[in-house]
Every structure is written in C-alpha cells, then in structure tokens.
C-alpha cells in the first residue's frame, strides 16, 4: 500500500499526525484563547509537499463538525491555481457557504454586485508587497478601480475608508452566520503553495489586510520553504522573506513529512525486530 499517495485521508487517533489535529482543535476551542483569536485570525500549517497537510485538514473538518462552536470549510486552492484573482474566489467561496448556512435566498451573483467588494476584483493588479512588513503594501488605486472609472468619488476614498468599508460589510455577513447558528467559521486554505507566485503573495496580503474580522479563522496549509523561495524570487531578501511570513502568521504548526513518521504505530519491540 502506498502511504504517500497524494490522496487526503482521515487520520485515526492511533496515527501520529492525529496529535496535530488535536493541537489545532484545542487551540480553537479553548475558552482561554477566545480574546486572542478575535485579534489574530490567521494560522499557518507548515509542511512540505506530501507531509499530510491535506489529510490533517480533512480530519480536522470531521473533528470540528462534532464541536458546537465552529463550521469547518476547506478552500481547495488547486481548483483555482490558474485563477488570477484568488482573493476574490475565496470571498465568493465564503459568501456562498454563508448563504447556504443561513438559508438566504439571495443569489450570490447579486451579493457580489455590492461595490464594497470591488477592491478585491482587481486586488491582484493593484497591490505589490513591500518589505519590511510595516511598510509592506503599495496600492495602485487606478488599477484597483479600472473597472469603476465612472465612480466620481473614487479619488476621494482613501485606502483606510475602502478597507474599513470592506471589513464592515464582510463582518456583517459573518455575523449573519453567527446569529443563525451561534457558530464561528473555520476556513482551511489547502495547497496554497501549488499556486502561481503572484497568487500566493496576493492572497496572503489580502488575508492580512481585508479578511481580519471576528468570528472567522483561517488556517493556511503552506510549504514554508516554497513560499520563502517565492518571496525571494520577487524581493531578493531571505531574512525579510522569512520575517514576512512571521508577521502574517503569529500562530503556526509544523508537520513532518509522512516518510519520517510511523503512521501506524506498533509495539516498539516488534518494530525494532524489523
């Protein structure tokens, strides 16, 4: 049997990787972390390709379904790896699921007509990440609003106002879900490192800038080395590339490759005889 097949499985309690699932679950469900997670909603699950990140997400989704306080969703970025607007696809994915959860009859295409979401429509065209982190973004408003040329107010709107309006409306959508279900939303973003370089950078930037709201947690499955190489190709600064990820994700979990683990532990003496 090929244990390393690129097909996510559900880990069992006896599997070593199951401890990672429990670690994340305990972080999310511990009441003592509630205030912290309201301020920090981005978590990284670091691991090389083939380390089992997708299986951890699949297992975590099953485990969290039994909890009373989270609705788990998996955003499979490989389906959008050629998409030039991954951030907007993520927004559409979340709003579509909120619609289903709340039983809203409003069509998602009508919800997305809200001009508040326009900043994400051309986000990838108008943003460039700068290093160091405290000055990490340039926004080209002409590009962001190139499909909104007739809006006479566009030049009067600062990045602060645009961002705050987006966050306000996005928070309202998430709160609709909380009101109906009394549950927070957990979004697991899988296979991000399989996307194009620009998509990786743009989505991470959008998560930090636009999706920082209460009652929704994002966990990104990332090959840290691959993403650092992506940043290096663009910015030629290894130290700042590593710092960038540390600033994006103040919480992280590390996963060993499955080839380094005994997925089905046996009695130690029996194992040593082999």
DSSP letter assigned to residue 261: S
**247 Cβ neighbours under 8 A, 6+ residues apart:** 133, 136
Tokens of 18: 């199951």
Domain annotation for the chain: domains and CATH numbers: 16-148+155-254 (3.40.50)
Residues 6+ apart with CB under 8 A from 188: 57, 60, 61, 72, 73, 74, 75, 218, 219, 221
Distance CA 226, CA 193 (A): 7
pLDDT in tens, the chain (274 residues): 344 456 778 888 888 889 999 999 999 999 999 899 988 999 999 998 888 899 999 999 999 988 778 999 999 998 877 777 888 889 999 999 998 888 887 777 777 777 777 777 666 554 544 434 434 444 444 444 444 545 545 544 566 787 788 889 999 999 999 999 999 999 999 988 888 877 888 888 889 888 989 999 999 999 998 888 888 887 777 777 888 888 899 899 999 875 555 544 444 343 333 3
DSSP summary character for residue 113: T
Side-chain half-sphere CA neighbours of 129 within 13 A: 32
d(CA 9, CA 141): 44
| Beta-bridge mates of residue 222 | 46
Cβ(61)–Cβ(72) below 8 Å: yes
């Amino acid at each position: 049997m090929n244990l390393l097949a690129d097909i996510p499985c559900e880990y069992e309690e006896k599997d070593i990787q199951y401890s990672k699932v429990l670690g994340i679950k305990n972080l999310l469900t511990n009441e003592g972390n509630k205030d912290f997670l309201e301020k920090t909603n981005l978590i990284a699950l670091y691991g090389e390709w083939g380390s089992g990140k997708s299986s951890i997400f699949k297992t975590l989704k099953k485990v969290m379904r039994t909890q009373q306080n989270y609705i788990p969703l998996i955003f499979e970025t490989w389906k959008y790896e050629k998409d030039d607007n991954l951030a907007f696809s993520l927004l559409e994915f979340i709003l579509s699921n909120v619609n289903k959860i709340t039983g809203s009859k409003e069509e998602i295409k009508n919800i997305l007509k809200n001009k508040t979401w326009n900043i994400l429509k051309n986000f990838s065209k108008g943003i460039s990440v700068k290093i160091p982190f405290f000055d990490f973004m340039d926004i080209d408003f002409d590009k962001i609003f190139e499909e909104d040329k007739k809006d006479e107010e566009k030049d009067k709107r600062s990045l602060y106002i645009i961002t705050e309006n987006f966050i306000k409306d996005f928070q309202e959508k998430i709160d609709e879900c909380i009101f109906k279900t009394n549950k927070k939303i957990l979004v697991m973003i899988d296979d991000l490192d399989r996307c194009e370089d620009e998509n990786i950078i743009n989505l991470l930037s959008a998560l930090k800038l636009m999706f920082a709201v209460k009652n929704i947690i994002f966990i990104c499955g990332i090959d840290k080395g691959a993403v650092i190489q992506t940043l290096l190709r663009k910015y030629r600064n290894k130290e700042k590339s590593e710092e960038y990820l540390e600033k994006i994700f103040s919480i992280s979990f590390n996963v060993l490759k499955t080839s380094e683990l005994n997925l089905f532990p046996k009695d130690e003496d029996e194992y040593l005889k082999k």
